[in-house]
Chain A
Amino acid sequence: MFDILYQPWPWYVAGPIIGLTVPVLLLLGGKMFGVSANLRHACAACNFGNVEFFNYDWKKAGKWNITFLVGSVLGGFLGGFVFANPEPIALAQSTIADLQAMGIQDFNGLVPDDLFTWGALGTVPGLIVLILGGFLVGFGARYAGGCTSGHAISGLSDLQLASLIAVIGFFIGGLLMTWFIYPIILS
């Protein structure tokens, strides 16, 4: 009976549940679903140097969302630790072959140990992935005014043209990185 908690969920189960986050937050408190706003709230809470972009009442604007984010960490603990899937991901063979050719060796978990360990932080590819990757996610999300949740889910759900342009940007950057830049980083 508990198998379903350990097994991976197919796209047609996960997709609708993620989509329901939008109306649930709207109906509960008129809130727009968007995770990256929390990074701005965290900067506003510290605001070293009194930057104008971070001068707002972050508690009033962001308490609900920070609580939601704490929940996401808890959900990650339940879904990825307590009920962790013991099997490797059923990835497409072509992806595995491509990644092996690029030097990735570990396919056991959700992320490769080749890049996502404290030891990998001492390697050039690990450093680029973890620090530059994180930096671009934070910078790009705020520049674009939202991330995958804010634009690709919330914004598109509200048929916002701006979000469609942002999502096209996500794919321009993602395809460039995957096809042209990543092979150089890992070589």
Chain B
Amino acid sequence: MKFSEYLKYLLIGTAFGFVLMKSEVVSWFRIQEMFRFDAFHMYGIIGLAVVVGIISVQIIKRNNMKDAQGNPISIPPKDASQVKRYLIGGSMFGLGWALLGACPGPMFALLGSGLTIMVIPILAALAGTYTYGLLRDKLPH
């Protein structure tokens, strides 16, 4: 990867982290509010993000668009027959998301905002990821 490539991804990541902050998606309070169905805020954000995502992916696919390097854009399909994996794994993620009030993106954005305690859940998330890698063969998928 060239320097300019790194710069591109760095800038997109910066914009992403900035929006996470400004929209308060990173807030433990907003996640509590969402799971209590007390406000439309989070549903509006996720809902509109998905609408914009669906429209743009359809445009990209239907026009067989290529990326900046000229390679065809292909999105690998996910295997929906692994219902257990998505349902059990997803539920475990949901338990953690509600408990910590932050998913992976917000964990790192909050760290950047000066909340140094986020180092602890980030290390715990790495331990969780590693533990999954260790137990993967024994888990239903």
- Chain A interfacial positions (CB closer than 8 Å to B): 7-9, 11-30, 32, 35-36, 38-40, 42-43, 48-49, 51-54, 63-65, 67-81, 84-85, 89, 91-92, 94-95, 98-99, 107, 110-112, 115-118, 120-121, 128-145, 147-149, 151-163, 165-179, 181-182, 185
- Chain B interfacial positions (CB closer than 8 Å to A): 1, 5-6, 8-36, 38-42, 44-54, 56-57, 59-60, 65, 67-69, 71-80, 82-83, 85-105, 107-118, 120-134, 136, 139
CB <8 Å contact, A53 and B133? yes
Q: Nearest 7 A-B pairs (CB), nearest first?
A: A169-B90, A71-B13, A75-B17, A173-B94, A80-B113, A157-B53, A136-B96
CB <8 Å contact, B108 and A73? yes
A117 to B28, CA, bound (A): 13
CB <8 Å contact, A111 and B45? no
A-B contact pairs, 25 of them (CB 8 A): A9-B22, A11-B23, A14-B22, A15-B47, A18-B19, A19-B53, A21-B15, A27-B73, A29-B69, A42-B126, A43-B130, A52-B133, A64-B5, A64-B9, A78-B21, A79-B18, A79-B22, A107-B29, A137-B97, A139-B132, A141-B103, A145-B78, A157-B54, A165-B86, A176-B91
CB <8 Å contact, B107 and A137? yes
Given A94-B38, A143-B89, A118:B116 Cβ within 8 A: yes
Within 8 Å by CB of A173, from B39, B69, B76, B97, lies B97
Given A19-B50, A137-B128, A131:B45 Cβ within 8 A: no
**B contact residues around A176 at 8 Å (CB):** 91, 94-95, 98
Q: How far is the CB of B67 from chain A (nearest CB, A)?
A: 4
A75 to B124, CA, bound (A): 23
CB <8 Å contact, A143 and B108? no
Residue of A99, A110, A181, A185 with most chain B CB atoms under a 10 A cut-off: A110
Within 8 Å by CB of B133, from A51, A134, A170, lies A51
CB <8 Å contact, A137 and B19? no
Given A111-B110, A129-B100, A134-B125, A158:B75 Cβ within 8 A: yes
**B contact residues around A94 at 8 Å (CB):** 36, 38
CB <8 Å contact, A153 and B67? no
**B contact residues around A8 at 8 Å (CB):** 22-24
CB <8 Å contact, A143 and B85? yes
Q: How far is the CB of B105 from chain A (nearest CB, A)?
A: 4
